[in-house]
């Protein structure tokens, strides 16, 4: 599979990771909360909290990419979650898809590569208290509302 590991530059000069776009997995456990990744200092927006995720491969769906990246970075077993919905930020030249999934069987996430300082289950009501990756911070209120609407 053709890796999408490369920067894409927008018309305004901003850079985005993923030649074919990027995707992240928002894992929700009803008991433990949201699985968050404290991003390595050397990474884009390092030191912030976000979702396990990254560049999609060529011909890889957003769901496939998010599940692959979460397994690579946080040891999330793809068969331990069920996809609930997707939320897409489409800039025309680049896109990021948040794949929201519910835990269907318990598992222990652990740092599976060098892209994390820490992984933590964070109660939904405490997510916004952390220094979040700017893109995740912008999308969190809508994602939280949609996630909460499923429990109603």
| CATH number of the domain encompassing residue 77 | 3.90.79.10
Phi and psi angles of residue 68, each rounded to the nearest 5 degrees, phi first: -65, -50
Structure-token pair, residue 124: 């939904």
**Residue 151 belongs to some domain of the structure:** no
Q: What is the pTM of this model?
A: 0.92
Number of domains in the chain: 1
Residue 136 belongs to a domain: yes
Q: Which residues of the chain have pLDDT under 50?
A: 152
Question: Which parts of the chain are beta strand (E)?
Answer: 7-9, 15-17, 22-29, 33-39, 49-50, 53-55, 81-90, 95-103, 116-122
Q: Is residue 150 part of a domain?
A: no
Give the structural domain span for 49.
7-142
Residue 2 within any structural domain of the chain: no
137 belongs to a structural domain: yes
Contacts 24+ apart (CB under 8 A), 146-150: 146/85, 146/87, 146/100, 147/26, 147/28, 147/84, 147/100, 148/124, 150/84
Q: Kindly give the pairing relationship between strand 15-17 and strand 7-9.
A: antiparallel
> Residue 44's pLDDT is what?
80
Residues 6+ apart with CB under 8 A from 130: 36, 49, 122
Quote the pLDDT of residue 152.
45
- CA end-to-end distance (rounded Å), the chain: 40
- The answer to whether residue 115 sits within a structural domain is yes
């Amino acid at each position: 599979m053709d890796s999408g590991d490369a920067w894409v530059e927008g018309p305004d000069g901003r850079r985005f990771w993923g030649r074919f776009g990027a995707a992240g997995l928002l894992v929700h456990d009803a008991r433990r909360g949201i699985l968050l990744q404290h991003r390595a200092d050397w990474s884009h927006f390092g030191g912030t909290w976000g979702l396990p995720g990254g560049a999609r491969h060529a011909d890889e769906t957003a769901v496939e990419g998010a599940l692959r990246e979460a397994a690579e970075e946080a040891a999330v077993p793809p068969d331990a979650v069920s996809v609930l919905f997707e939320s897409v930020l489409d800039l025309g030249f680049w896109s990021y898809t948040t794949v929201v999934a519910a835990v269907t069987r318990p598992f222990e996430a652990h740092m599976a590569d060098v892209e994390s300082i820490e992984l933590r289950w964070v109660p939904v009501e405490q997510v916004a208290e952390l220094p979040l990756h700017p893109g995740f911070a912008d999308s969190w209120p809508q994602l939280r509302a949609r996630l909460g609407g499923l429990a109603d």
